[in-house]
Amino acid sequence: MFREFKQFIARGNVFDLAVGIVIGAAFGAVVNSFVKDILMPPIGLLLGGLDFGNFFIVLKGQGAATLEAAQRAGAVTWNYGLFINTMINFLIIAFAIFLMVKAYNRMKEQPAPAPANTKECPFCLSTIPVKATRCAHCTSNLKAAA
């Protein structure tokens, strides 16, 4: 079992996966900052100075003006504003990954088409080998057609 694990690690895919996870975590941090610090303030300003981070419902405890104050007071809160921010983060990350995969697929070399080893009979339209001189289906002489 140790040998199989060693072969699995040595394949290189595990290293590529680890690099992808680290880059993905860093990308997630950048997107979180983008949404929190760049995108949401103008949206909140357009909506009359709203801060989505402070959209919450107190389920148990005393109400407060901000989420931070409610949590310091020990209130149980339902933080739907933070959920909205998280959903926006997700949509931005998903769209960015979609664009990267689309670009990667466009850049990836397309395999050359396999050489044709069959052709169509001009008389009966059946598929026959390229080297055939007579159609196996209608028995037409193919050399005469050429």
**CATH numbers and ranges of domains, the chain:** 2-107 (1.10.1200.120), 112-146 (no CATH)
pTM, two decimals, is 0.55
User: How is residue 117 written in tokens?
Assistant: 């080893």
Classify each residue of 37-63 as buried b or exposed e, where b means 16 or more C-beta atoms within 10 Å of its C-beta: eebbeeeeeeeeeeebbbbbeeeeeee
At 146 the pLDDT is 54
Mean pLDDT of 1-13: 77
pLDDT at 145 over 60: no
pLDDT at 115 over 70: yes
At 78 the pLDDT is 92
pLDDT above 70 covers a percentage of the chain that reads 97
